[in-house]
Amino acid sequence: MKPVILAVMTFRLHAPWVHSLKEKRMIVSSLVSRLQSRFHVSAAEIDEQDAHPFIAIGAAAIVPHSAMADSLMDEISRFVEASTEAEILSETREIR
């Protein structure tokens, strides 16, 4: 049996125009549901829940090999950049 390969990404975003948790929830839930739908990954807000202008989202997927992990993470990165007006402060990638 082949070992399981897990591709994990985290994004930290800044949306300075957000002044309420309700506004933030709309952005987060939209981005998370589009990531889940388009890429079939697990995604969720993972930190910064009480900081209005900051958003931290994690995404993870099980893939058959590391080349697919790299490709998927590249696609997700481009999608996040194109799908939100928020500034991407950081992006981390990990293959386990």
User: SS3 sequence, the chain?
Assistant: CCCCEEEEEEEEEECCCCCCHHHHHHHHHHHHHHHHHHHCCEEEEEECCCCCCEEEEEEEEEECCHHHHHHHHHHHHHHHHHHCCCEEEEEEEEEC
If one compares 65 and 11, the residue with the highest pLDDT of the two is 11
- Domain 5-95: give its CATH code: 3.30.70.1120
| Residue 1 scores a pLDDT above 80 | no
> Rounded to an integer, what is the distance from CA 90 to the centroid of its chain?
11
Domain ranges of the chain: 5-95
Q: What is the pLDDT of residue 6?
A: 96
The phi, psi pair for 10, rounded to 5°, reads: -130, 145
Q: What is the pLDDT of residue 4?
A: 86
Per-residue pLDDT tens digits for 9-50: 999 999 999 999 999 999 999 999 999 999 999 999 999 888
Q: What is the pLDDT of residue 51?
A: 83
Average pLDDT, the chain: 94
DSSP-assigned beta bridge partners for residue 89: none
| Residue 78 scores a pLDDT above 90 | yes
